[in-house]
């Protein structure tokens, strides 16, 4: 290291990316990183290149980047829980409607829905969308069933009444079922089943982690702990969407187990487009609330939370610790600030993306044509640690940092 370089210069980094509730193979994230890093490098004037991963462990890729005159190598690995997601999405059509009833009951009767509405309307609307869309699909199926049955009954001059009723009922039911199956087969456009399964996954246990997720969190903790024993200069955990609250528990467990070496790599946590309140506001989310409270005080890491009001699928600028009602007096994390889509995307780009809600939810992982102080590829492949990069960054003034959750109990340590 030359004398002109700061002591915090990062030359080697390990990055662990935790996706949200996503059933897709992690190669999707590699291709997204490849495409968007090249675009951002062209805009911002640095170099980024991807190579296949050569080491063992989770699916990932190697990044070589030169930024600010410093060559940086980063190994990015995806902490996969897509198999758990796929298993939870395997419900039949009737089972999905039963999930709808149970999920709505949980959020309404617990009072969580009304509290969530005090934060941001966007994610609440996103949560209500699958309910409304699935009920609309069911209504169309019922109307078609009734219409076909009535149409057959008009043939009473040709067939006995009882036979007509039977034929009409069979054809009507068949038509209704066909409509429901048609919508289900095209859910890649409607996202009603996908979102319903997403919200139902946490609601089914009233916010408590399902056993399979707890087991996966433990496995993720081992991987991060091993990386902290390497010669990397920084270990960075990135949690996107639902992956943010998974990351909170991974890092809380890691620090409780005293597995962060004092002389080891810097440890950073970047939460992006988080939806933590959807879980932490539920009655039995005691583990998550305890992890939020614990992690918010720790000196072993730097935690930066980035969101944007333009992202209607996230609880933008809502401090996940404070709004969950568990902020201690010595709270120091997270630093909450906005990616400010309306400023960091040109008017033309913003106009193109503003109504593509799911695409905007992934904008944090993409290039900005008017980049500000948030740049995913500088954070993951640049020469500064997360702590150093945002050492003097003030939190956004418009953040929401008041206690809102009705339930604030925490699990015993």
Domain residue spans in the chain? 13-81+215-389, 84-202
C-alpha span between 389 and 266 (Å, rounded) = 12
Residue found by looking up tokens 């709004």 in the block:
323
C-alpha span between 1 and 241 (Å, rounded) = 37
Edge-to-edge strand order for the sheet containing 335-338?
Answer: 47-52, 60-67, 70-78, 12-18, 234-240, 266-272, 302-307, 335-338
pLDDT in the model for residue 252: 98
pLDDT in the model for residue 384: 96
Chain centre to alpha carbon of residue 388: 25
pLDDT in the model for residue 29: 95
How many CB atoms are closer than 10 A to CB 4? 7
Question: Looking at the DSSP assignment, which residues form a beta bridge with residue 78?
Answer: 17
C-alpha span between 349 and 371 (Å, rounded) = 12
φ, ψ at 318 (rounded to 5°): -95, 115
pLDDT digits (tens, 9 = 90+) for 292-304: 999 999 999 999 9
- Is 190 exposed, middle or buried (CB count within 10 Å of its CB: 0-12, 13-18, 19+)? middle
Residue found by looking up tokens 């994390």 in the block:
333
C-alpha span between 54 and 56 (Å, rounded) = 7
Which helix (DSSP H) or strand (DSSP E) does residue 339 occupy?
none
Q: What is the pTM of this model?
A: 0.91
C-alpha span between 124 and 314 (Å, rounded) = 9
Chain centre to alpha carbon of residue 243: 5
pLDDT in the model for residue 14: 96
C-alpha span between 151 and 347 (Å, rounded) = 53
- CB 263 within 8 Å of CB 228: no
Helix (H, G, I), strand (E, B) or coil at 49: strand
Cα-only R_g, the chain: 24
pLDDT < 70 positions in the chain: 1-8, 154-160, 162-165, 412-413
Helix count (H) and strand count (E) of the chain?
A: 18, 8
C-alpha span between 241 and 336 (Å, rounded) = 15
φ, ψ at 270 (rounded to 5°): -115, 110
pLDDT in the model for residue 158: 58
pLDDT in the model for residue 412: 65
pLDDT in the model for residue 382: 95
- CB 386 within 8 Å of CB 379: yes
C-alpha span between 144 and 250 (Å, rounded) = 49
C-alpha span between 73 and 69 (Å, rounded) = 13
- CB 319 within 8 Å of CB 334: yes
pLDDT in the model for residue 2: 40
Question: How many CA atoms are closer than 13 Å to the CA of 322, on its beta-carbon side?
Answer: 18
C-alpha span between 16 and 244 (Å, rounded) = 12
């Amino acid at each position: 290291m030359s004398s002109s370089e700061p002591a915090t210069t990062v030359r080697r980094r390990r990055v662990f990316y935790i996706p949200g509730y996503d059933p897709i193979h992690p190669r999707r994230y590699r291709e997204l990183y490849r495409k968007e890093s090249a675009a951002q490098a062209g805009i911002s004037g640095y170099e980024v290149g991807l190579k296949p991963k050569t080491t063992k462990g989770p699916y990932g890729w190697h990044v070589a980047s030169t930024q600010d005159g410093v060559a940086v190598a980063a190994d990015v690995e995806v902490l996969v829980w897509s198999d758990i997601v796929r298993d939870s999405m395997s419900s039949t059509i009737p089972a999905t409607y039963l999930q709808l009833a149970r999920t709505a009951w949980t959020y309404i009767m617990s009072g969580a829905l009304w509290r969530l509405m005090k934060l941001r309307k966007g994610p609440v609307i996103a949560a209500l969308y699958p309910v409304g869309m699935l009920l609309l699909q069911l209504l169309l199926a019922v109307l078609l069933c009734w219409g076909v049955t009535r149409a057959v009954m008009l043939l009473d001059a040709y067939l006995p009444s009882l036979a007509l009723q039977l034929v009409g009922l069979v054809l009507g039911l068949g038509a209704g079922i066909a409509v429901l199956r048609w919508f289900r087969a095209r859910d890649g456009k409607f996202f009603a089943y996908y979102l319903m399964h997403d919200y139902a996954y946490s609601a089914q246990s009233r916010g408590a982690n399902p056993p399979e997720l707890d087991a996966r969190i433990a496995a993720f903790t081992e991987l991060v702990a091993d990386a902290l024993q390497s010669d990397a200069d920084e270990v960075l955990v990135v949690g996107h969407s639902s992956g943010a609250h998974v990351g909170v528990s991974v890092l809380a467990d890691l620090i409780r187990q005293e597995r962060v070496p004092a002389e080891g790599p810097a440890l950073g946590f970047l939460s992006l487009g988080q939806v933590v309140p959807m879980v932490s506001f539920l009655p039995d989310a005691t583990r998550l609330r305890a992890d939020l409270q614990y992690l918010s005080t720790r000196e072993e890491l730097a935690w930066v939370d980035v969101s944007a009001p333009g992202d209607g699928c996230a609880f933008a600028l809502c401090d996940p610790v404070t709004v969950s009602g568990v902020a201690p007096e010595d709270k120091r994390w997270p630093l909450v600030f906005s990616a400010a889509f309306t400023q960091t995307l040109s008017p033309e780009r913003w106009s193109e993306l503003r109504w593509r809600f799911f695409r905007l939810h992934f904008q944090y992982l993409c290039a900005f044509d008017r980049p500000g102080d948030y740049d995913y590829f500088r954070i993951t492949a640049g020469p500064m640690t997360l702590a150093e990069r945002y050492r003097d960054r003030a939190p956004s003034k418009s953040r929401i940092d008041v206690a809102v959750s009705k339930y604030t109990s925490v699990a015993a340590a």
